Amino acid sequence: MNEVNYITPWANKRSNDPLHSLCSYLGSFPPSLASYFIRFFTDEGDLVYDPFSGRGTTILEARILNRKSVASDLNPIALALSHAKSVQADTEAILQLIDELEENYDYPLFLPEAKAQPDEIHLIFHPRTLAELCYLKLMLKEPKSKEEKILVGTILGIMHGGERKDGSSGYLSISMPNTFSMSPEYVRRFVQTNQLNREYRNTFQLLREKIKRTFEKHTFPRSQSSIYRSDAKTLSSTPEFKKLKGKVDLILTSPPYLGIVNYARQNWIRSWFLDANPELISEELDDDLNLFEWIKFSKDTVSQFKKLLKPNGVGVFVIGDVAKSKDSVIPLAREFAVMVKENKLFKNVWIFSDYIQGFDKTTRIWGETKGKATATDRIVILSDINPFKENHRLNGESDLTYDLIKESTKHFMGDRI
C-alpha cells in the first residue's frame, strides 16, 4: 500500500516559547502541530480542550493563540505541569518566591527528613540537595498561588538529567542518561557501573537559573486555562464538564496507547516529590491496555468527547503506530477510525500520516531501546461537518487541503471507511 508522502506544515518548525520545555514528558507531540491545528480549526476566543493533557502543550499553544482552553488528566505529574502552563504570573514575583523560600529554609531541621527517605532516592541526590527538596515538598505540597504552581512545574523539570561537559548541571541529580525515570534497579547499576558521585546542587540557585532561562523570552498570554483532575471515560458526569456540554470547538489530544509508556512508573522520581504513589497512579491510568481493551477505552472516551463538542466541532487525535514485533506494526489509528465509523460516533473520519523526524518525538531519547514506539504518528480528524472546504484561517500558509486529506485517508484505510 503506497502512502501519501507529504511534508507537513508543522514539520521542522519549533515553538519560540521556552515554557514548552519546562519539563520533559514522554510521548508528547510537537508544539508546532498543536499550533497548526488550533489555527486551522478555530478562531480567537474559541474553546479548545485536551482530555489527556500531559505536559500541557495544547493548552499553552491555545493560550498563546488567544483561545480559551480546558485540560484534564489523571496523572498528578501531568496535572502539575499543566497547571504551571495555565497561569499568568510575573517573573520577578516567581524569583521573589524563591528568595523567600531560601531565606526561611533551615538545613539542620530538614536533614533528618532527608535521611528518612527511601534508599533509591538517596542514590540520586546529594544529602544537602535532598534536604532542600524535602523542605520544598512540604512548602509547595498544595500550591495555590500562580507563582507556586509554576515553581512546582519547574522543580519537576530540573529533578534529574545529565551533567554538562564541564561537570556542571542544570539538574539536581547525579548525572543520569535520561530525563525520564529509569527503574530504581537500573539507577543502582548505572551508579555502580559509572562510579558516580553525588554532587551537591543548590536547588534554589538552579530554580532561579531555570526560571530566568524559561521566562526571559516568554510573554505570558492574557488568557488562562482551567485544569481538572478527571477521568476521560466519565467526563459528562462530572460537574466541571457538565457545564461544557456542546460548547467545545476543538478537542486536540494524544490518547495513551498499548503500553508504550507507563507514565507513572517512568516518572517515579517526580512522583516522589509530589508524594504520589506510582503504583496507585498506574492502576488508575489507561496506559497499559491490550488492543481489545484499548478499542473499548477509545469508544468510551470518544463518546464522552462527542457530548462536549459543538455540532460543528472538530476532534484531532494524534495516534502513533505500535510495533508488535520487529517486522509487524499495529496501525492503531486504523482501529480507532473503524471503531468510530462502526459505532456512528461521527459522520466524517479523516486520517493523515505524519512521518516523525528524529527530533520531533520525545521517544527519540530511547535510541535503539525505544521498544514499541515507531516513527509514524497518524492525525485522526473527526467531525459531523466538513471543516476543510471553507477554511481560510491560515492566510496563505501551506494547508492540508481537503483533496490531500481525502487521498491520505483513502491510501491508509482502503475501503474500510
The per-residue pLDDT for range 201-228, each reduced to its tens digit, is 999 999 999 999 998 877 778 788 999 9
125 and 205: one domain? Answer: yes
Instruction: Assess whether pLDDT exceeds 60 at residue 360.
Output: no
249 and 128: one domain? Answer: no
The CA dihedral of 370, 380, 224, 276, to the nearest 10 degrees, is: -40
Per-residue pLDDT tens over the stretch 5-53: 667 888 777 767 889 989 988 767 899 999 999 999 999 999 999 999 9
pLDDT at site 268: 86
Instruction: Assess whether pLDDT exceeds 90 at residue 391.
Output: no
pLDDT at site 261: 58
Share of the chain above pLDDT 70, in %: 82
Task: Name the least confident of 94-103, 254-263, 347-356.
Answer: 254-263
233 and 375: one domain? Answer: yes
Q: Count the Cβ atoms, other than its own, within 10 Å of residue 327.
A: 6
Q: For the chain, how many structural domains are there in total?
A: 2
End position of a domain, from candidates 201, 216, 231: 216
Q: What integer best gives the mean pLDDT of the chain?
A: 86
Higher per-residue pLDDT: 228 or 412: 228
Contacts (Cβ under 8 Å, ≥6 apart) of 168: none
Q: Which amino acid is at 294?
A: W
103 and 53: one domain? Answer: no
End position of a domain, from candidates 216, 237, 263: 216
Higher per-residue pLDDT: 151 or 269: 151
189 and 248: one domain? Answer: no
User: For 47, what's the count of Cα atoms within 13 Å in the CB-facing half-sphere?
Assistant: 18
pTM for the model? 0.90
Q: Count the Cβ atoms, other than its own, within 10 Å of residue 166.
A: 6
Task: Name the least confident of 110-124, 241-255, 283-297, 339-353.
Answer: 283-297
Q: How far is CA 340 from the centre of its chain?
A: 24
13 and 152: one domain? Answer: no
pLDDT at site 340: 97
76 and 96: one domain? Answer: no
291 and 355: one domain? Answer: yes
257 and 204: one domain? Answer: no
Q: Which amino acid is at 250?
A: L
End position of a domain, from candidates 192, 216, 240: 216
Q: What band does 148 get if pLDDT is binned at 50, 70 and 90?
A: very high
d(CA 142, CA 83): 12
d(CA 417, CA 341): 7
Instruction: Assess whether pLDDT exceeds 70 at residue 410.
Output: yes
Q: What band does 366 get if pLDDT is binned at 50, 70 and 90?
A: very low
Question: What CA–CA distances, in Å, run from 36 to 62, 326, 380, 402, 409?
Answer: 10, 33, 14, 15, 19
Average pLDDT over residues 325-335: 82
d(CA 324, CA 334): 15
227 and 368: one domain? Answer: yes
d(CA 158, CA 23): 7
pLDDT at site 89: 86
348 and 210: one domain? Answer: no
d(CA 202, CA 347): 56
Q: What band does 392 get if pLDDT is binned at 50, 70 and 90?
A: low
Confirm if 98 and 204 have CB atoms less than 8 A apart: yes
Instruction: Assess whether pLDDT exceeds 50 at residue 119.
Output: yes
Average pLDDT over residues 159-171: 89
Average pLDDT over residues 152-165: 92
